[in-house]
Structure 1
Amino acid sequence: MKRQLQVWMFLLMLGLAGAPVCVIAGSGAGTEQLLKKAEELMLNYRDSEALAMYEEVLQAAPDNYTALCKASLLNCRIGERVTDDGTKIAFYVKAKEYASRAYELNPNDSEANYAMALSLGAMAMVSGPKQRLAGINQMKSFLDAALASNNKHAGAWHLLGRWYFKMANLNFAESAASKMFFGGVCGEATNEEAATAIQTAIKYNPMNIQYYYDLAAVYKEMKSTDDCTATLEQAIALQVTTRDELELARRCKIMLQQYKK
């Protein structure tokens, strides 16, 4: 009997040693290794691989807060690049699901609130007019909460700038609908507030070309030529490597050339 027990234990150990990582990811060490690898992939812009790894963590540890927040952000980022509407919506639905679960776990943390705001904004852009306005309006409270938790959160400042810009430039029908259904909160938003928010985002993350491009768009709307050209020149001076960054750099150059004609 003792001999059989020893053999059984030996076989069990062999089975665990040969098991895939996802089987043992529930252990603290396994989860931390996966999270570290996923973060490295994300920093190197290998978004699909990073998302797969965060989702692997969530299979073993469904309430892992870091994985939920990062998976939500990556679904938004990947979804934005997709051209097929159905696929895009599927990514955004998943982003909202992960963000909601993270928010339930830690409703006062900046990352959960930022993930909620980002996923709401993403879904709003692929929704009908009323649903779009509802999503955009809902974003504000989550952005305020994110910045109350961490007032140096560059992503939250950038998204707040986008929120101000969108709400400040609603067309007549959108403005009327916003006042009718949501109390006219868009009246608080101005292009100046949008510019200030995105400037703050750049202050805390000066290497993100998306921030400069969006700030230039705000200045263009404000007809502030000097500020717009200065911002575009700063954007073009950045070192960019990814396809998305290179495309933004190309757009910045085109916009700058238009001003210099």
Structure 2
Amino acid sequence: MLGWLATPAAGQFRTQPRKPATAAPSQRPLNALPPDPPAVQAQLFQAATLAKGFKDSEALAVYQEILKGTPNHYLSLCQAAVLSVKIGSRYSDETRKSAYFDAGRQYADRALLIRPEGGESNYAVAFALFNQATLYKAGARLKAFRDLRSHVYLVTERRPDIAEGWQLLGRWQYRVAHYNLLERLYSKFVLGGVPEGGDSHEAMEDLEKARKLAPNNIEFCYDLARMCRYQGRRRRAIEVLREAERISPITSEDLVISRLCRQMLPPLLRADARRSQRSARLEQKEAAPATLPPSPSPAAADSVSRKQ
């Protein structure tokens, strides 16, 4: 669940967002938007309550109603974009999935025109583009990942309190860090180079930040555990999966991810047990004193002396 969707932060309303600690001195603060009329504020509260109750379609309908009267309402555009993508991701049919993703991208692009450096608008664009890329062929998918770079970094700079922004940045960094040879060649000769920023270690750090902001989000646990497993950090993966066991699934998506976490854990535990056993045997072998040849018995020694 997107926490900032259900309970919008102050920066998402018509107030001045705080300047991020990582922002360059040359960056200017975003201009504050005029306050909403009471009727629109009531609709925003209604939509946020619906989203918090996992009624995404109903919440989307309220944001769309706001946009009918105020087509350039920044918050509604951002929220409509993210909700459209979330709803579309639940469909198995690629035609319906694509239609929702495209609608979400259109909302996000409109929000980006209003605030090109807004954390919310850049998250909306990145979230839509990241999901759209799953439907693209190889070349278009690599182009989408190239275009994602500026958006995923701006999210965490402008709105470091959005946990999903850190998750998206971590996913992007990990994916770029693991381009295969063909993907790297295509990026180099067709797209102008592999995007800078792909790094497995930083990706895991970003997922850790996301988990600190939203410790009860089981999807963050799953993403981080997979990265740790692939990078050989078995013990950390086990710790994260143990923590995931204590998170109660709420939505059907949570239930699916919870099952995936449970399936991932046993092989890691068996591998860790085998490693511990090998380490224990090695320690015992190194600690054992060197064995000397047995000394001859008195009778054997006397027999040797008589022969001499």
Q: Work out whether the TM-score is over 0.5.
A: yes
In 1, the alpha carbon distance for the partners of 2:155 and 2:260 equals 30
State whether residues 50 and 56 of structure 2, in contact with CA within 8 Å, keep that contact through their aligned partners in structure 1. yes
Mapped pair 1:246 → 2:255? yes
Give me the identity figure in percent. Answer: 31
Secondary structure of residue in 2 paired with 1:182: coil
In 1, the alpha carbon distance for the partners of 2:191 and 2:209 equals 28
Secondary structure of residue in 1 paired with 2:89: helix
| Structure 1 residue 30: Cα displacement | 2.2
Q: How many residues in Structure 1 have an aligned counterpart in Structure 2?
A: 235
Residue of structure 2 in register with 1:60 after alignment: 69
| Structure 1 residue 228: Cα displacement | 0.8
Map of 1:153-164 to 2, 5 A cutoff? 153-164=162-173
Mapped pair 1:183 → 2:192? yes
| Structure 1 residue 150: Cα displacement | 2.2
| Structure 1 residue 29: Cα displacement | 2.4
Residue of structure 1 in register with 2:218 after alignment: 209
Task: Flag the structure with higher helix content.
Answer: 1
| Structure 1 residue 153: Cα displacement | 2.4
Amino acid at match of 1:88: K
In 1, the alpha carbon distance for the partners of 2:221 and 2:139 equals 30
In 2, the alpha carbon distance for the partners of 1:182 and 1:226 equals 38
Residue of structure 2 in register with 1:199 after alignment: 208
Q: Structure 1: 5+ residue runs without aligned partners?
A: 1-26
| Structure 1 residue 204: Cα displacement | 1.5
Map of 1:54-203 to 2, 5 A cutoff? 54-186=63-195, 188-203=197-212
Secondary structure of residue in 2 paired with 1:125: helix
Secondary structure of residue in 2 paired with 1:88: helix
In 1, the alpha carbon distance for the partners of 2:145 and 2:104 equals 16
State whether residues 99 and 112 of structure 1, in contact with CA within 8 Å, keep that contact through their aligned partners in structure 2. yes
When Rg is computed on C-alpha atoms for both structures, the one with the higher figure is 2
Residue of structure 2 in register with 1:30 after alignment: 39
Residue of structure 2 in register with 1:234 after alignment: 243
| Structure 1 residue 190: Cα displacement | 2.1
Q: Structure 2: 5+ residue runs without aligned partners?
A: 1-35, 271-308
Deviations 1:122-175 (A, max 9, x none): 111111211111111111101112222122321111000000111112222212
Query: Please, what is the CA RMSD of the aligned residues?
Result: 1.5
Amino acid at match of 2:264: M
In 1, the alpha carbon distance for the partners of 2:182 and 2:104 equals 29
Runs of 4+ displaced beyond 6 Å:
none
State whether residues 88 and 97 of structure 2, in contact with CA within 8 Å, keep that contact through their aligned partners in structure 1. yes
Amino acid at match of 1:220: R
Amino acid at match of 2:60: L
Q: TM-score, normalised by structure 2?
A: 0.73
